[in-house]
Amino acid sequence: MNEGRSVHSVAADFGISARADYRWLVRFREHGYAGLHSTSSRPHSSPYQLPDSWIVCIRLYRQTFKWCARKIAENEMDPPT
């Protein structure tokens, strides 16, 4: 893989950042060509995700009363139990 060339020059040739090139280089060294396939950037977890009961309540306020996010927040709604 382009031995003897700097990461910066290879990145410039491909129009990507050196940071992205380093990331690809590490993946190649760890996993070979299989590591160069696209991977998901989705987080493994979302610890601050709203509970389903809140989402249902927000949708209800939006659909029934046509309220925007600001209006819902101002009314300090309580989610269903």
pLDDT of 16 above 90: yes
For residues 14-32, give the mean pLDDT.
Answer: 93
pLDDT band with cut points at 50, 70 and 90 for residue 73: confident
Strands (E), the chain: none
For residues 28-54, give the mean pLDDT.
Answer: 90
Cβ proximity of 50 and 43 under 8 Å: no
pLDDT of 78 above 70: no
pTM of the model: 0.47
* Residue 10 amino acid letter: V
pLDDT of 2 above 60: no
CA distance 41 to 61: 32
Place of tokens 């060509």: 33
- For the chain, the structural domain boundaries read 7-36, 48-81
Please give the mean pLDDT across all residues of the chain.
87
CA distance 30 to 17: 20
